[in-house]
Structures are given as structure tokens and as C-alpha cells.
Amino acid sequence: MRTGKPLVLAIAGPTGAGKSSLAMTLASMIPVQIVNFDSMQIYRGMDIGTAKAGVDDRRRVPHHLLDIRDPDQAFSVGQFIPLFREAVMTVAGKGDLPVAVGGTGLYLRGGLGGLFDGPGRDEALRKELKALEKTSPGTLFRLLEKEDPETAGRVMANDLIRIIRAIEVLRLTGRPISEFQRGHAFTDRPFDSLIFCLDPPRGRLYSWISDRVDQMIRDGFLEEVRKLKKKGYGRDLGSMKALGYRELMAHLDGEITFSEAVDRIKSDTRRYAKRQMTWFRREKGVTWLDYQSREDIPGLAEKIVEIVQSLP
């Protein structure tokens, strides 16, 4: 139900499902501008591996929140929220429909509904947790799986920023961060929203992921990573947790073969896609779009346009 607030249309779903293609198809039907909510597409120089919109697409349709940080600059959902909201208001003010596109569920949730007021940082605790992880890699994620399995199911096993924050909240309050999030219910909602999530057959999605990784390699993904490495960006950066970058850096460092790196990228991407679907299935108010092939994308776009145009 509309409340009179600006409307945001969001296209979510797993990596490789065709979100950008759907958004660009929509743009050929109605006046829209695209607002990114992918946590890795904000970084400059990380184009191929993040499947960032190309120059031609950006010329055709305005895109917001791409290339806004260097890879060694820290960035968080707290920093993202005001930028997202400013971009949405800018687009709406021009009379276009803001279309949020991405796969980082927390960024979309925060942009549309805000964040809970949790405890502040405890630097001593964080230092202790980082030392523990350095001594025994994987310990913190296993700890999170045991003490807050709900949150563990939503983060990547190597996403130390979010893992440490979740454990920090647990240690400081005795309550899991997932409980705070449910209690907050993300009631700070400055926009009306329609959230559509792509839901292709899993086997087909995995095939698309494999094909897309192969295409990224052909497009120069390894050379992109080599350039980042030459600029001094190392695997310890938060930006380098983006799918594929650490694996290719490990290859460039002689730790694994190129074939092993590519296989790991495909495997990690499939696991990430599964986690993305788990996240969005827990979200409220999501309209699921079932489809069988990329040829179905125009039909999905027509369905969305009908829904938008039927709103009061």
C-alpha cells in the first residue's frame, strides 16, 4: 500500500541471475535510474570481477553509487545508508523511478529500513578476536555458527568485518545481533518499496555462474587483479573479499594454479548465491520472479511495469 513516500523498486537475487539485465530492460520501458546496492561495486578498479555496469549501459541509463571508494578505503553499511537515500531522493526528484539493483541484502535492508541501535565498538575485544583468528583461521566463523547460527547463515565465512561485529555484539550484550535486528524491525522507512527477487532453477543458475566466470576470465579478470596488486592492494583488504579477487591474487603469488583459482571462484560463487537466496527468503514483502531462461527477462520486465503502473 502506498503511503505517499517516494517509491523505490528493488531488483534483488543471487549473483549471476540477470539482475542488471532486468534493470536495463526496465529502463527501455519506463524512465528509471539505477541505484547500486552491491557492496563491492562501490570500489574503483574492480569492474570485471564485480560484474559492474559497462560504459555503454551507464551512458544509456544513469547509475548511482558505483566507483565511490578506492579499494583500500573502509566502507560499511552505516556509510552506505545516507548515500543510498540521497541518491534515491535525487532520482525521485527528477521524476524518474529509482531502481535499486544488487545482491547485498544487508545494504538493501539498511537503505530501506535503517539499522538497529547496537552497542559501540570495543577495540580491545576486536584486537583479541583478530589475534585469535590469525592464530587459528576459521575459528571466529565456527564460533559464530555455534552461538548465532542465524547470522552465520547470512555472512561469508571469510567476511571478518561482519563476523567480528556479530561476536562483539554477542559478547557485549549477551544477545545475538540477529535478535537486535528482529527487535528493531527496520522501522525507519523513508520510502515505499517494491522488492522483486529473481528465482531461477538452481541447476540453471549454477550453469550461468560457471559461464559468467569463464567470460570474466576472457574479459581480463586476471589482468584486472594484477593491476590492483601492483598498486599495493593486498588480500587483507575488505574489498578483496569480493568473489574471485583473493583467489586470483593467491595464484599470482604462486600459491595455487590458475585452474585451481578458477575452480575455487566458481565454487565460492555458487555457495555465495545460495546464501543470498537464504537471506532474501527471510525478508518480508519480497515478490519472487520464477523463470527458466534469460529469454524470459523481457516478460519479467513487462510484469513489473504492469505492477508499477497499477499503483495508485
Last residue of a domain, one of 161, 183, 205: 183
pLDDT of residue 284: 86
Q: What percent of the chain has pLDDT over 90?
A: 78
Nearby residues of 157 by Cβ (< 8 Å), 6 or more positions away? 138, 141
Can you tell me the mean pLDDT for 140-165?
A: 88
Q: Which residue has the higher pLDDT, 161 or 266?
A: 266
Q: What percent of the chain has pLDDT over 70?
A: 95
The helix (run of H) or strand (run of E) holding residue 80 is helix 77-93
Kindly state the cell numbers that stand for 150: 542465524
Number of domains in the chain: 2
Q: Which residue has the higher pLDDT, 160 or 305?
A: 305
- Residue 2, Cβ neighbours under 10 Å: how many? 8
- Among residues 52, 94, 46, 37, the alpha carbon closest in space to that of 69 is found at 46
Domain span at residue 54? Answer: 7-115+186-310
- Residue 1 maps to a domain: no
- The C-alpha atoms of residue 142 and residue 165 are separated, in whole angstroms, by 14
- Residue 216 — pLDDT band, cuts 50, 70, 90? very high
Handedness of CA 307, 39, 279, 289 (dihedral sign): positive
pLDDT of residue 153: 86
191 and 173 in a single domain? The answer is no
Can you tell me the mean pLDDT for 96-114?
A: 93
Nearby residues of 168 by Cβ (< 8 Å), 6 or more positions away? 119, 121, 122, 125, 126, 129
Question: Please, what is the average pLDDT of the chain?
Answer: 92
pLDDT of residue 20: 97
The domain that contains 138 carries what CATH number? 1.10.20.140
User: pLDDT tens, 37-88?
Assistant: 999 999 999 999 999 999 999 999 999 999 999 999 989 888 999 999 999 9
Do the beta carbons of residue 26 and residue 308 sit within 8 Å?
no
156 and 290 in a single domain? The answer is no
- Residue 2 maps to a domain: no
171 and 87 in a single domain? The answer is no
Strand-pairing partners, residue 97, are 32
pLDDT of residue 103: 95
pLDDT of residue 162: 84
108 and 34 in a single domain? The answer is yes
pLDDT of residue 52: 98
Strand-pairing partners, residue 69, are 43
Instruction: Tell whether the model's pLDDT for residue 29 goes beyond 70.
Output: yes
pLDDT of residue 178: 75
pLDDT of residue 189: 82
Instruction: Tell whether the model's pLDDT for residue 311 goes beyond 80.
Output: yes
177 and 79 in a single domain? The answer is no
208 and 226 in a single domain? The answer is yes
47 and 196 in a single domain? The answer is yes
43: helix, coil or strand? strand
